[in-house]
Structure 1
Amino acid sequence: MDFTLSPEVEDYRLRVRDFVARRILPIETDPANYDEHENIADAPLASLRAQAKEAGLWAPQMPKSRGGVGLGVVGMAALYEEMGRSIFGPVAFNAAAPDDGNMIVLEKVATEAQKERWLQPIVDGKVRSAFAMTEPMPGAGSDPSAMRTRAEWRGDRWVVNGHKWYITGAGVARHFILIARTSDDSRKGLSAFLFDADQPGWEIVRRIPIMGPEEHGGHCELRFDGLEIAPENVLMNIGDGLKLTQIRLGTARLTHCMRWLGMAKRATEIAAAYVRERDSFGSKLHQHEGVQWLMGEAAMAIEVGRLLTMRAAWKLDQGDFARKEVSMAKIQVSETLHKAVDTAIQLCGARGYSKDTPLEWMYRYARQARLVDGASEVHKMVLSRFYMDEGLDFWGWR
């Protein structure tokens, strides 16, 4: 298999790497550039976004006709990894969740009128967005069939009542994709809707405190009480909500992996710089065998994650859903991120545990990776089903 990037993608990758190094990493070092939720504040973010647009590096996942770079999934993998080297990187290029996944699915399935109304403002960076699916118990989580939020047809529109929570970015989002039940059909019972934050009939109950740090807009609990949605704001067709969710989450799970790989590499980079200079018992730390084992294991785990991610990206570019490959990448990379950051903190000692480096920020952030977009255990169940169906063909060379 040839993983060589095309000259175009390699040029973009190097430009993103340079942009991150020269313009974003210095922003991380000043506490004044953080908001109260430990993410980049609005003013420095606006400046970085303007610079990314000027540099021609804005929204690499979107077509050039929409103001993006127009890369396929393989190209996105290479660039997102470079962006992920900074904790502020992805959002500066308009490649952070949940906007990233929402833009990708809207570009794939929305009508032209819907793209102009709902997608283009997100691409332009004028509004933020959210994807409202997860519900409190006993509602939908990893199992969408448990969906309890309902949309009922009344007169000439859909009326939504229900309850959602842990909706990423909802605190600042203007455009929402909402998944709700429209029938009790086991396969076609869910539908997807678009609504605007200004519409009546819904509220943010609270911004749920988390281990943090938080994405912009936090993770919110929402309640719907008579939200009205016109038929032109149905995404795809009534009954296609589960299909839309699968389309969105396939690529979205993988873009998480791409960004997490960059963060894992940054953590090992910080650790390597420390152990190279730190003296201990008559020699540099990196010369100790135990330290070498830890660094080698982390580096190898990251490379395995990169190969799985790029394999899944290539299959997505071929039009395959790549469910098996995405699940393998999601498990490997989410657990590798946690391992890499934990190893880096261990090697840096008290310095790693302090706020003198971004490692403690990364550590708290990394814990969610094994939960979001399907817990590792759910993806292992997916892989088990594939294996039981395919047997030895699970490891085919096709």
Structure 2
Amino acid sequence: MDFTISPELEDLRQRIAAFVESEIIPREADPASWDAHENIALPALAELRAKARAAGLWCLQLKPETGGLGVGRVGMAVCYEEMNRSIFGPVVFNSAAPDDGNMMVLEAVATPDQKRRWLAPIVAGEVRSAFAMTEPHPGGGSDPTMIRTRAEKQADGSWKLYGRKWFITGAEEAVHLIVIARTSDDPRRGLTAFLFHRDQPGWEIVRRIPIMGPEEHGGHCEIAFDGLRVAAEDVLMGEGDGFKVTQIRLGPARLTHCMRWLGLAKRSVEIARAYAATREGFGIRLADRESIQLKLGRTAMAIEIGRLLVMKAAWELDRGGQARKEVSMAKVQAANTLHEAADMAIQINGARGYSKDTVLEWIYRYARQARLVDGADEVHQMVLNRFLDKEGDAFWRWPVAGA
């Protein structure tokens, strides 16, 4: 593949970088910009979102006809990494999870009427959204075949939902939600995706689950369904297509996580290098110590490996492939690299890194979830082993032009 990018994409990257530097990063140092859950406060977010839209930096992941910039997956890899130089970055550009993945799946599979009613308000920044799949034991987690939340078809063609979900990101702020429920025992076509509005009766947020790290807007919630009625026209794709919906959504969404994590990993290195360049101990700068140089060099290499894996997966998606193998590799590499980069940066900064004088401790706590969300490391490694068993030496094949 060709790793050069177009002048237009480079211009967009530079504009995003300048916006992050001048408009977003200064907000990290302002206590008034933070909410109670250690994310950007909604008034500050609204102000920055208006500026991002005015600057033409809005929803770049979507097609122009949907309201985006149509940069493709490779373009997203370039730009998302730049956005997440700031811990507040992606949500400002309407490119943060879970809205990001929800918009992309709705753009891909929703009917024109569903796009008008359910997608357009998210694109416009009028509402937030959530994707409800994960369940408490013995329900489905990484294995969607274990999903127990059920939908019962009514005589008029509508559905009633019963069951429980948890760790549903953004649920407390979400207005538009997608839920995956069981509609039959068919092993391949037993799940269906449904769209519903926050104000519909028959469901509730049981609790906002306290977590180790900072939270996305709307937290990570446990929710219960007790007869939520969903109209037939609010089934996404079709009855029995729920597993397809999850695959269409989760592959690209996992990759966008990786893009953003690499941006935070680079920010960690940036903070570490700046401190090492000025801090002296025992008559020598930290940056001149071989042990520090080894840490920084190793982390820089790990980030570049992650970038290459992300780019290969993005390229495969852009050319129409599913990139399951490539996304799994990128997911494991980027998640672990983020955690290692934050840990390394804290070590170099010493007590300063452990304090709240920098964003490193925020990134460190946030980073630990990366190895769990959208499939734990071990799940993706099992996926890769299945490909290895199936493909043998062809696991490492190069695509052949015209084949």
Structure 1 portions without partners, runs of 5+: none
Q: CA deviation at 1:203?
A: 0.2
Q: Distance in 2 between matches of 1:318 and 1:66?
A: 20
Per-residue displacement from partner, 1:173-212 (whole Å, max 9, x unpaired)? 0000000000000010000000000000000000000012
Alignment of 1:275-354 (within 5 A): 275-354=276-355
Residue in structure 2 matched with residue 369 of structure 1 by the alignment: 370
Residue in structure 2 matched with residue 132 of structure 1 by the alignment: 132
Per-residue displacement from partner, 1:127-172 (whole Å, max 9, x unpaired)? 0000000000000000101110000101111000000000000001
Deviating 4+ runs (over 3 angstroms): none
Q: Secondary structure at the match of 1:174?
A: strand
Per-residue displacement from partner, 1:344-370 (whole Å, max 9, x unpaired)? 000000000000000000000000000
Alignment of 1:264-275 (within 5 A): 264-275=265-276
Q: Secondary structure at the match of 2:36?
A: coil
Q: CA deviation at 1:66?
A: 2.7
Q: Distance in 2 between matches of 1:388 and 1:62?
A: 36
Per-residue displacement from partner, 1:5-48 (whole Å, max 9, x unpaired)? 11111110110000000100001111111000000001110000
Residue in structure 2 matched with residue 81 of structure 1 by the alignment: 81
Q: Distance in 1 between matches of 2:171 and 2:229?
A: 18
Per-residue displacement from partner, 1:225-267 (whole Å, max 9, x unpaired)? 0000000000001001001100100000000000000000000
Q: Report the AA paired with residue 344 of structure 1.
A: A
Q: Report the AA paired with residue 102 of structure 1.
A: N
Output the TM-score relative to the length of structure 2.
0.98
Residue in structure 2 matched with residue 26 of structure 1 by the alignment: 26
Q: CA deviation at 1:59?
A: 0.6
Q: CA deviation at 1:67?
A: 2.4
Q: Secondary structure at the match of 2:184?
A: coil
Q: In the alignment, is the contact (CA less than 8 A) between 2:66 and 2:107 conserved in 1? A: no
Q: In the alignment, is the contact (CA less than 8 A) between 2:151 and 2:181 conserved in 1? A: yes
Q: Report the AA paired with residue 7 of structure 1.
A: P
Q: CA deviation at 1:283?
A: 1.1
Q: Distance in 1 between matches of 2:189 and 2:344?
A: 45
Q: Residue 144 in 1 paired to residue 144 in 2?
A: yes
Percent identity among equivalent residues? Answer: 67
Residue in structure 2 matched with residue 226 of structure 1 by the alignment: 227
Q: CA deviation at 1:280?
A: 1.4
Per-residue displacement from partner, 1:268-305 (whole Å, max 9, x unpaired)? 00000000000112111011111111101110000000
Q: Secondary structure at the match of 2:272?
A: helix
Residue in structure 1 matched with residue 168 of structure 2 by the alignment: 167
Per-residue displacement from partner, 1:296-319 (whole Å, max 9, x unpaired)? 111000000000000000000001
Q: Distance in 2 between matches of 1:277 and 1:322?
A: 43
Q: Quick check: 332-341 or 68-77, which moved more? A: 68-77
Q: In the alignment, is the contact (CA less than 8 A) between 2:170 and 2:219 conserved in 1? A: yes
Q: Residue 67 in 1 paired to residue 57 in 2?
A: no
Q: Distance in 1 between matches of 2:338 and 2:4?
A: 24
Q: Report the AA paired with residue 316 of structure 2.
A: K
Q: Secondary structure at the match of 2:214?
A: coil
Q: Secondary structure at the match of 2:151?
A: strand
Structure 2 portions without partners, runs of 5+: none
Q: Distance in 1 between matches of 2:93 and 2:190?
A: 36
Q: Secondary structure at the match of 1:179?
A: strand
Q: Distance in 1 between matches of 2:356 and 2:206?
A: 32
Q: Distance in 2 between matches of 1:195 and 1:97?
A: 18
Residue in structure 1 matched with residue 47 of structure 2 by the alignment: 47
Q: Residue 204 in 1 paired to residue 218 in 2?
A: no
Q: Secondary structure at the match of 1:195?
A: strand
What's the RMSD between the two structures over aligned residues? 0.6
Q: Report the AA paired with residue 207 of structure 2.
A: R
Q: Quick check: 336-345 or 7-16, which moved more? A: 7-16
Q: In the alignment, is the contact (CA less than 8 A) between 2:178 and 2:196 conserved in 1? A: yes
How many residue pairs get matched? 398
Q: Distance in 2 between matches of 1:196 and 1:220?
A: 16
Q: Residue 98 in 1 paired to residue 98 in 2?
A: yes
